[in-house]
Amino acid sequence: MGKREDNAIATRQSLIEAADHLIVQKGYENISVDDIVKTSGIAKGTFYNYFERKEDLIFELSKEHFAKLNTQTILSEQDDPIIIIKKYLIDFMSVIFNSKIELARQWVRYISFSETNSNKWQFDVQSFEQLLMKLIDADKLKVNTPVHQLAQLFLTEMYGVIFTWCISPKTVDPIATVKRFCDLQLSALLQPYLINA
Amino acid sequence: MGKREDNAIATRQSLIEAADHLIVQKGYENISVDDIVKTSGIAKGTFYNYFERKEDLIFELSKEHFAKLNTQTILSEQDDPIIIIKKYLIDFMSVIFNSKIELARQWVRYISFSETNSNKWQFDVQSFEQLLMKLIDADKLKVNTPVHQLAQLFLTEMYGVIFTWCISPKTVDPIATVKRFCDLQLSALLQPYLINA
Amino acid sequence: MGKREDNAIATRQSLIEAADHLIVQKGYENISVDDIVKTSGIAKGTFYNYFERKEDLIFELSKEHFAKLNTQTILSEQDDPIIIIKKYLIDFMSVIFNSKIELARQWVRYISFSETNSNKWQFDVQSFEQLLMKLIDADKLKVNTPVHQLAQLFLTEMYGVIFTWCISPKTVDPIATVKRFCDLQLSALLQPYLINA
Amino acid sequence: MGKREDNAIATRQSLIEAADHLIVQKGYENISVDDIVKTSGIAKGTFYNYFERKEDLIFELSKEHFAKLNTQTILSEQDDPIIIIKKYLIDFMSVIFNSKIELARQWVRYISFSETNSNKWQFDVQSFEQLLMKLIDADKLKVNTPVHQLAQLFLTEMYGVIFTWCISPKTVDPIATVKRFCDLQLSALLQPYLINA
DNA sequence: TATGAATGAGTCTTCATTCAT
DNA sequence: AATGAATGAAGACTCATTCAT
């Protein structure tokens, strides 16, 4: 409501943005509260009015941060489910590819840090499951499609591409790899579950 | 005659083992030289007789770990190339699975840190290429098999499995995932290149 | 209203004073941040709120010391330029002599460390040049007096005295040496440029 | 006698030379026993067979080191004592000037470190006293010449020149300064003690 | 005598967190 | 709610010295 609340929200946002900015430059492990408050121009004490511990901001951040990497599930009006899925996967990879590789690396490092960071993975699997379920609802896939299994399988491939890209950006082209994956395997994998119009 | 030399080697080994032990418990970033020397019962100064900086030990460790994670390419006397490949991939994953998950996590974090660590990936791809070439030589695959492409594809999947396992060990079962991958996709992918006896 | 600011200034001053005190006792190279904070009763971390590195405090100190060592050029109402100059040189030396010898030593070591510390020397030469020029203006020295040359000559002698005093305080008496220098050489050196009333 | 003794002397010398070499590069305070033994290729333990403590070598070194800066008192067959003295002083300064300025700086820093290092100064004063006494013996100076006083006075000037050269090598030309000093003051100072042939 | 591994006190520096203003 | 000075534990690294071989 009031101006005060707005200011408070703005302050909080400043801190998050500063941290976000710093993470890309220095990596998760190497940002200090000092860095954050200096970058945001906010007093150190103020930081602790908003976050009980540094970790809290990091957690907050991961939500903000990886939201950027989330694909919008837009079910195109396309007919062919294979093309729909291919588009989805390419979009998914594009979002990551278009971010800087450093961001992707930080993400890999962060996400593999501990089980508490598995949200993104869970979320991605669920999103893909939803896509498949929409396709089922739209009578484009059979009701017995093993939604969860396929989602895991596809996402595993996606994560593998991201990972190997981080490892060897010169020899791995993420988008091309996804395209190849789709062309080589998609129809084979989905064949049993397709409903032919 | 090498009592002193033996002791020296033992000391060095103690340090490495202590570090190795601690990494599994606390993770890469959270082990201190103090921890290491206390665990190994060696004086702090001694540490620096063996490693110029803490990083050097970490590097040393990574090398050991990488070595551990290398699969022996043993071409079994099996007939069916699909079974041979499946066995190879399962062996590959078993080596990693049998190491502690913390070790795998450290490896993921380390390997994704920068391009300079891409050797393992290159090595793994090459190893798999060699397997495929052996199969070609043994007249089990056609000579036009796209060796490099397939190797990248399979290894990407493997790396994806490792990665997602690190992220979400409770929902991902690496060995089962590899088996499922093989069952669902191997024959489809290799079909065009199989030579039927 | 500046209670906090006042405290901060006091803290900073405590640190400087503690360091100053320690330097006299132990010498430049032998004081540690630990010593300083223990002496001043301030927490170690606080030190680094005020000085980015130990060196910075040392530099700060040098500035203070240099300031202390600067002689006030007060042109006395004396008639005889020789007496005026003698007084000036004795004053100059007294300032240094009255500081502890350790301080002088630190100064010698600091100032000779590199060219970047040559300000004090330049400043001293200029100050003496100004004295001579005032004497010219007051019609006590001829206008063709080689101001710069004489200034360098005299100051070289002064610096030599300080240096040898630091080396051998038992055999060198700085004030007496300056007096002797004046008595033996001043009239001879200035003779050509004196204006007799 | 034996080979053993020779070796021992050689080892000792190696250590001194290595330290000597390092001092010019890194300064008195910054050389470590480690540096010394690495440079000389001798084992660390061996160092302590020759010197009880690091300081002992430093002391040893100062003797060797500054011996280099000692002028050979060669009484030329010149007639005029003023010219003889001038030549001596210029030689004195040349030795220092011809060494690198860094060496001179180290020397200034070292020599001013504490009273224990006053040998060089004492030695220089005595050498000059000897010169003056030779001139008295040769009937070129009167027997009532204040040998010690003049020696101190001249050497103070010399040390002043060295010191200011270290401080401001760009504005101070040691040799020229000595020449100027001699030309301006030598005859005036010696006048009372000259014996005219 | 020569060796070099072992030692541990000591050094600088960082940083998350607290708290009086 | 905002501030920023104060804190002290913890970290990496150095180095003169000892001592068993």
Q: The domain that contains C9 carries what CATH number?
A: 1.10.10.60
pLDDT at C71 over 60: no
Instruction: Report the nearest residue to nucleotide E14, CA vs C1'.
Output: C45
User: Is the separation of the CB atoms in C169 and C101 below 8 Å?
Assistant: yes
DSSP characters over D45-89: HHHHHH-SSHHHHHHHHHHHHHHTTPPP----S-S-HHHHHHHHH
Position B175 confidence tier, pLDDT thresholds 50, 70, 90: very high
Q: Do A189 and B189 touch (CB under 8 A)?
A: no
Same domain? For B120 and B32 the reply is no
Give the rounded distance of the alpha carbon of B184 from its chain centre. Answer: 24
Which residues of A fall within a CB distance of 8 Å from B176? none
pLDDT at D104 over 60: yes
Same domain? For B126 and B182 the reply is yes
Q: How far is residue B146's CA from residue B189's CA, in Å, rounded to a whole number?
A: 11
Same domain? For C84 and C35 the reply is no
pLDDT at D67 over 70: no
Q: How far is residue C155's CA from residue D10's CA, in Å, rounded to a whole number?
A: 46
Q: Can you give the pLDDT at residue D158?
A: 94
Q: Can you give the pLDDT at residue B69?
A: 59
pLDDT at A5 over 70: no
Distance A144 CA to E8 C1' (A): 69
Q: Do C156 and D159 touch (CB under 8 A)?
A: no
List all nucleotides in chain E with at least one atom under 7 A from a protein Cβ: 1-21
Same domain? For D169 and D86 the reply is yes
Same domain? For D30 and D79 the reply is no
Chain B's closest residue to A111, CA to CA, is B167
pLDDT at A119 over 60: yes
Residue that finishes a domain, picked among A61, A78, A99: A61
Q: Do D156 and C153 touch (CB under 8 A)?
A: no
**Any B CB within 8 A of A180 CB:** yes
Same domain? For A40 and A75 the reply is no
Residue among A111, A117, A160 whose CB faces B157 most closely: A160
Q: How far apart are the first and last CA of chain B?
A: 61
Least confident of A47-51, A62-66, B78-82: A62-66
- A66-81 confidence digits (pLDDT tens): 566 565 555 566 678 9
Q: Which residues lie across from A141 on neighbouring strands? A: A194
Instruction: Report the nearest residue to nucleotide F20, CA vs C1'.
Output: B4
Same domain? For A145 and A184 the reply is yes
- C87-132 confidence digits (pLDDT tens): 999 988 988 888 778 778 777 877 776 666 677 788 889 989 999 9
pLDDT at C20 over 90: no
Q: The domain that contains C185 carries what CATH number?
A: 1.10.357
Comparing CA positions, the residue from A27, A65, A163, C37 lying closest to residue B167 is: A163
pLDDT at C76 over 70: no
> Is strand E within 7 Å of residue A26 (CB)?
no
Distance C90 CA to E13 C1' (A): 45
Query: For chain C, where are the alpha helices, taking DSSP H only?
Result: 3-26, 33-40, 44-50, 54-69, 81-98, 101-111, 119-137, 147-167, 174-181, 187-190
Q: Can you give the pLDDT at residue A98?
A: 81
Q: Can you give the pLDDT at residue B68?
A: 63
Same domain? For C118 and C178 the reply is yes
Same domain? For B75 and B155 the reply is yes
Between the alpha carbon of residue C109 and those of residues C27, D62, D107, the distances in Å are: 10, 17, 10
Distance C94 CA to E6 C1' (A): 53
Torsion, CA D128, CA D134, CA D136, CA D137, rounded to 10? 160
Position B1 confidence tier, pLDDT thresholds 50, 70, 90: low
Q: Do C159 and D158 touch (CB under 8 A)?
A: no
pLDDT at C8 over 70: yes
> Domain residues for B124?
70-193
In angstroms, the separation between the Cα of residue C78 and the nearest Cα of chain D is 26
Q: Can you give the pLDDT at residue B70?
A: 60
Residues 6+ apart with CB under 8 A from A196: none
Q: Can you give the pLDDT at residue D9?
A: 86
Position D109 confidence tier, pLDDT thresholds 50, 70, 90: confident
What is the number of structural domains in chain A? 2
Residue among C111, C120, C161 whose CB faces D156 most closely: C161
Q: How far is residue D144's CA from residue B33's CA, in Å, rounded to a whole number?
A: 72
Considering chain C, what percentage of its residues have pLDDT values greater than 70? 88
pLDDT at D7 over 90: no
User: Is the separation of the CB atoms in A60 and A16 below 8 Å?
Assistant: yes
Most confident among B128-142, D69-83, D89-103 (mean pLDDT)? B128-142
As given in the structure block, the two tokens for residue B31 are 């082990």
Position A89 confidence tier, pLDDT thresholds 50, 70, 90: very high
| Structure-model confidence comparison of residues A42 and D65, the more confident one | A42
Comparing CA positions, the residue from C160, C46, C162, C56 lying closest to residue C99 is: C162
Which amino acid does the sequence have at B128?
A: F
Per-residue pLDDT, averaged over A148-158, amounts to: 93
Same domain? For A27 and A98 the reply is no
Position B101 confidence tier, pLDDT thresholds 50, 70, 90: confident
DSSP characters over chain A: --HHHHHHHHHHHHHHHHHHHHHHHH-GGG--HHHHHHHHT--HHHHHHH-SSHHHHHHHHHHHHHHTTPPP----S-S-HHHHHHHHHHHHHHHHHHS-HHHHHHHHHHHTT-GGGTHHHHHHHHHHHHHHHHHHHTTSB-TT--HHHHHHHHHHHHHHHHHHHHH-TTT--HHHHHHHHIIIIIHHHHGGGB---
Cα-based angle B47, B48, B51 (whole degrees, multiple of 5): 90
Per-residue pLDDT, averaged over D61-83, amounts to: 67
- Work out the mean pLDDT of chain C and round it to a whole number: 85
Position C174 confidence tier, pLDDT thresholds 50, 70, 90: very high
> Is strand F within 7 Å of residue A152 (CB)?
no
Q: Do D113 and C109 touch (CB under 8 A)?
A: yes
Q: How far is residue A166's CA from residue B114's CA, in Å, rounded to a whole number?
A: 7
Q: Do B161 and A160 touch (CB under 8 A)?
A: yes
Q: Can you give the pLDDT at residue C190?
A: 92
Considering chain C, what percentage of its residues have pLDDT values greater than 90? 47
Q: Which residues lie across from D194 on neighbouring strands? A: D141
Q: Can you give the pLDDT at residue C67?
A: 67
Q: Can you give the pLDDT at residue D26?
A: 78
pLDDT at D71 over 60: no
Same domain? For C107 and C32 the reply is no
Most confident among A95-104, B20-29, D164-173 (mean pLDDT)? D164-173
Same domain? For C124 and C92 the reply is yes
Residue that finishes a domain, picked among D16, D38, D64: D64
Which of C's residues 19-58 have CB atoms within 7 A of nucleic strand F? 42-46, 48-50
User: Is the separation of the CB atoms in A68 and A41 below 8 Å?
Assistant: no
Residue that finishes a domain, picked among A61, A78, A106: A61
